Structure formats: structure tokens, C-alpha cells
Structure 1
Amino acid sequence: MAKLCGEARRLKDKFLSFQISHVLRNLNSEADAQATLAVGLADGEVAEECVI
């Protein structure tokens, strides 16, 4: 998280304004599912799901 925080701080200076909001997990289940999936991936690994 510290690495991501540093990246967010660096990027924020490129915008005129920005806002970061905390959304509780139970109100954002799709993002929580994606984050849970990403935690299990190796560095640089990408997971893709194709729905037809």
C-alpha cells in the first residue's frame, strides 16, 4: 500500500484537482472481488476473463 500511496501522491500533481473516496467493501463488491483476485497474482501477471 505504501508504494501505491507514493504513486498516487506523485500523480496527483498532474491534475488541477482530484478526490479520493473510501467506498466500503459491502457497497462495492465488484471492486473488492477484483482486488482479491489481484492479490493472488504474481508481480506483472495479468488475469483476464472473457464472457461471451
Structure 2
Amino acid sequence: MCPVIFVLSRRKFYDLLNNTDGEDFLAYYGERKLILRVAFERYLRNHPKLRRRV
């Protein structure tokens, strides 16, 4: 399977992490937020507005 590359601006990425309620792609470990890669890729495929145009 070929890796999928998404271009996401730093501002949108941190805004998404800080303002999300922990969608399917976040796991919490103490105070840390861990990103579940496969679930995050699926989320970006379903929300193309977040991706930067290349």
C-alpha cells in the first residue's frame, strides 16, 4: 500500500488539536494528546477543506 501524504497547514493542524472534542483520531495519555495515524488519515479524507492546496 502506498503511503498517503496530506499537506495540512500548521495553523489548521494546531487549531484542530486545540479545538476538537477528541474525535476518532485522538487518544489521551495523561495530559498528552496522541494522534492515531490511520484514523487521522481517514478524518482528513472525509474533511478535504482542512487540507492545503498543492
The alignment's TM-score, normalised by the length of structure 1, stands at: 0.29
The alignment's TM-score, normalised by the length of structure 2, stands at: 0.28
Could you say which structure has the greater relative contact order, defined with CA pairs below 8 angstroms and 6 or more residues apart?
2
More helix by share: 1
Decide which structure has the larger Cα Rg and report it. Answer: 1
